[in-house]
Amino acid sequence: MVKRKHTPLYKSPLFLTAVGAAFVVLILAFAVFMRYIFSGLPPVYEMEEYTPSLTTKVYDRNNELIHEFSIEKRMMVPLEEIPVDLQNAVVAMEDRNFFSHPGISLRGIGRALLNDMVTGRAQQGASTLTQQLSRGVFLTQEKKLIRKIREIILAIQIEHQFSKPEILQLYLNQIYLGSGSYGVKAAAKKYFDKDLDQLTTGEAALLVGLIPAPGRYNPFVNPNLARQRRNLVLSVMREQNYITDEEYQKAKEEPMPVKPPQADDNKPGRYFIEHVRRILEPKYGMDTLWKAGLNIYTTLDIKQQKMAEETMNKWLNDFDEQVAKGLGIEFDPNDSEAETAQETDEEATPKDPSEKAPRLQGAFMVRDVKTGAVRVMIGGREYDESKFNRATQAKRQPGSSFKPYVWMAALQKGYTPATLVKDLTTMFYYDGRNWHAFDENSDLYSLDLAKQSFIAGKDFNVWVPQNYGGKSEGWITLRKGLEKSKNLVAVNLIDAVGIMDVIRVARKAGITANLPRVPALALGVSVLQMDEHLAALTTFANGGIHTDNYYIERVEDANGRILEQHIPIEQAQFTPQNSYLLINMMKGVVQRGSGAYVNRLGRNIAGKTGTTQSHRDMWFVGMTPHTAAAAWMGYDDDTSHEEGAKFTGSTTARWWTAIMEQILKTEPNDDFPVPEGISFAYINPLTGKLATPAERNKILEAFITGTEPQSF
């Protein structure tokens, strides 16, 4: 019998074919898997151009940092600006073999994989600084094996592409340290309000101690845990000979930070900052403004801003107390949510003791007369209470502070400061199309009779304006009409020169708001924004040359390249001669008129008060040859509280003066320059004619040469 030869299974062609096929499949699967792994890896050269989200910084006119825009608090700094103690602490705690390994630790990876298999879940331990960097910059924080493999591969690539100091620099600039802070520079500011070069050894150790769990080791949340963690970092640094025993003991005794630095909402200038954001965000986009690390250099003077806010709040708080006492209701100076008091009965009734006192609001702006640079902007009393900016967003009636536009229209028609104008009661009627004044020769009795015939007519409206206080003086000089803020002079002037001419003056000065074509326009019944009103009136102080308000000097990108820079645009709108005549009369408002409180500054100031009907809006706008400022106060709900305290524009002038006394301290007391073509003559302030040498009350008046009075 022939014995058959048996071939072992592993040598059989079928088995070998199967094994070969399986091997090919494994190779293909591995290739596909590695292709998948590498497809999720970004090119490592991108790290050379890595630009993380940076903090945009805002500076005042003196280059003082006043605000930061950021999604992430991050500031990039070169390695040489990072304290050595901070560098050593990171290496000691996070990767003691950092300067010798190729980007990964095989022993650490093996230990981590073993732990993962035992626990059944992925951990983030055993990562070198380079792995942490690759994960932080390019990969997600998801705990998956595939992500871990990509992290290892990317770490090796990074080590091949960059030097150890470059890797350490990138790591220290991107590591998250809690409270929105990325990088050690931002964290130093966040926790200690210090620059990096001011950090102590203990503070550096505390920052490094935050790395594994910033929320848990936050010194403001868990001070005891944070102290223990800091001391552990110091102990490891001593063991690895980065610090001496003496340095270790000294650093352990350092106090812990108790509370975070002051929040931005409590800092001065928040209304100004928000206004800057509203200008730049539409222009550059939210990502660029908040993430690109811009440097914004503004016109604001933060020291003046702080002082102005404190002063305005103090005065308005005192006024609130006066109103409360007048209304007989309780007043709490710390209550920022006080509501407006309302009378429910016309008769005098006892006040509810729980009723809160009304709360005045205010706004204030200061700008450079010639350039338009805004130095101070207050949009309200409490930014965290109301972000509505009453200096740039509110539209309020300017009252008599509108009158300079009327007086300029009169000057353009040939009036002089000595021209006699009517301070007489005049009745105006509306015929369905236009407003008209009754004949000026009608006496008061005739006016009363004439009014009766129109009251019954449905197509007619009648308006009889009055001066504040109800008194009129007949015929007075144009100057006196402005100084005493005579309403009857204003409405008679606008009737004489034409409403449209007054509107044209306001437009040329810079007013863009809607202006009603009614005689009451002369009394400021239109609604204006403070910023626009201030810029327009400043045109007269600048010799008739208009410049817009501006807030930003220049914007630079993170590399210092200028993206935009303010270029002043000047527009000559009025003659220097007429502008000087108007400003010279407005100086009289301060010297002898409704703004006389301001005269205690002892400076050459032109100004105008403004008070609207029922004392709902109170204004004062004043200017020197160099600086102009506007102040407003009133109630947000447009309520009047005359029964509590009857405030006027003269009241507003008081706290305008208190603020400007500080702002003008360093400004020379110059007078407004006299342009060519202006001459002076002594006149009788009652008749407007030349004064005799013996007259005691004569005043020196300015005229365009050739228009002076010719007779006594």
pLDDT digits (tens, 9 = 90+) for 491-527: 999 999 999 999 999 999 999 999 999 999 999 999 9
Residue range 302-311: average pLDDT? Answer: 97
Q: Which is more confidently placed, 649 or 391?
A: 391
Do the beta carbons of residue 212 and residue 220 sit within 8 Å?
A: no
Q: Report helix, strand or coil for 462.
A: strand
State whether 556 and 456 are in the same domain. no
**Whether residue 191 has pLDDT greater than 70:** yes
State whether 97 and 122 are in the same domain. yes
Q: Which of 160, 97, 113, 112 is nearest to 134 (CA)?
A: 160
What is the spatial distance between Cα 557 and Cα 561, in angstroms, rounded to a whole number?
A: 5
Q: Tens digit of pLDDT for each residue in 682-691?
A: 999 999 999 9
Do the beta carbons of residue 422 and residue 437 sit within 8 Å?
A: no
Lowest-confidence segment of 190-204, 247-261, 450-464, 556-570 by average pLDDT: 450-464
State whether 638 and 577 are in the same domain. yes
State whether 633 and 489 are in the same domain. no
In a domain, residue 34? The reply is no
Q: Which of 458, 464, 433, 459 is nearest to 446 (CA)?
A: 464
In a domain, residue 642? The reply is yes
> Last residue of some domain: 241, 261, 281?
261
Q: List the structure tokens of 580.
A: 């000087």
Q: Tens digit of pLDDT for each residue in 103-149?
A: 666 666 556 556 655 555 545 455 887 878 777 655 455 556 555 66
**Whether residue 362 has pLDDT greater than 90:** yes
Lowest-confidence segment of 25-34, 51-60, 230-239, 558-567 by average pLDDT: 25-34
CATH number, domain of 138, equals 1.10.3810.10
Confidence of residue 329 (pLDDT cuts 50, 70, 90): confident
> Last residue of some domain: 208, 243, 261?
261
Residue range 311-325: average pLDDT? Answer: 91
Q: Report helix, strand or coil for 402.
A: helix
Q: Which is more confidently placed, 399 or 452?
A: 399
pLDDT for residue 216:
93
Do the beta carbons of residue 679 and residue 703 sit within 8 Å?
A: yes
Confidence of residue 638 (pLDDT cuts 50, 70, 90): confident
pLDDT for residue 411:
98
3-state helix, strand, coil in the chain (%, to 5): 45, 15, 40
- Residue identified by tokens 């050739």 is 706
State whether 484 and 386 are in the same domain. no
What is the spatial distance between Cα 66 and Cα 262, in angstroms, rounded to a whole number?
A: 12
**Whether residue 280 has pLDDT greater than 60:** yes
pLDDT for residue 297:
98
pLDDT for residue 339:
41
CA dihedral 547, 549, 551, 554 (to 10 degrees): -20
Fill in the amino acid letter for 482. L
In a domain, residue 99? The reply is yes
Residue range 525-536: average pLDDT? Answer: 97
What is the spatial distance between Cα 596 and Cα 442, in angstroms, rounded to a whole number?
A: 35
Q: List the structure tokens of 319.
A: 């006024």
User: 707 is in which domain, residue-wise?
Assistant: 676-712
Confidence of residue 448 (pLDDT cuts 50, 70, 90): low
**Whether residue 201 has pLDDT greater than 90:** yes
Task: Supply the residues annotated as catalytic.
Answer: 94, 400
What is the spatial distance between Cα 407 and Cα 486, in angstroms, rounded to a whole number?
A: 12
Do the beta carbons of residue 422 and residue 509 sit within 8 Å?
A: no
Residue range 234-258: average pLDDT? Answer: 93
In a domain, residue 132? The reply is yes
In a domain, residue 550? The reply is yes
Q: Give the number of other CB atoms < 10 A from CB of residue 453.
A: 11
Number of domains composing the chain:
4
Residue range 330-359: average pLDDT? Answer: 50
State whether 589 and 445 are in the same domain. no
In a domain, residue 282? The reply is no
Q: Which residues, 6 or more positions from 648, have their beta carbon under 8 angstroms from its beta carbon?
A: 594, 609, 611, 615, 618
Residue 370 CA to chain centroid, in angstroms? Answer: 22
State whether 648 and 687 are in the same domain. no
- Residue identified by tokens 């010798």 is 100
What is the spatial distance between Cα 319 and Cα 310, in angstroms, rounded to a whole number?
A: 14
Q: Tens digit of pLDDT for each residue in 48-77?
A: 555 567 789 999 999 999 998 887 666 778
State whether 549 and 618 are in the same domain. yes
Q: Give the number of other CB atoms < 10 A from CB of residue 559.
A: 7
pLDDT for residue 260:
81
State whether 682 and 665 are in the same domain. no
Query: Average pLDDT over the chain, rounded to whole?
Result: 84
Confidence of residue 680 (pLDDT cuts 50, 70, 90): very high
pLDDT for residue 586:
98
pLDDT for residue 15:
60
Lowest-confidence segment of 176-185, 396-405, 410-419 by average pLDDT: 176-185
pLDDT for residue 267:
87
State whether 329 and 204 are in the same domain. no
In a domain, residue 232? The reply is yes
**Which of the residue ranges 139-148, 345-354, 627-636 has the most confident prediction, judged by mean pLDDT?**
627-636
Fill in the amino acid letter for 683. I
**Whether residue 245 has pLDDT greater than 90:** yes
pLDDT for residue 19:
60
Lowest-confidence segment of 19-28, 65-74, 99-108, 283-292 by average pLDDT: 19-28
State whether 582 and 611 are in the same domain. yes
Q: List the structure tokens of 126.
A: 């055993």
Do the beta carbons of residue 232 and residue 255 sit within 8 Å?
A: no
pLDDT for residue 488:
96
State whether 171 and 310 are in the same domain. no
In a domain, residue 46? The reply is no
- The reported pTM is 0.76
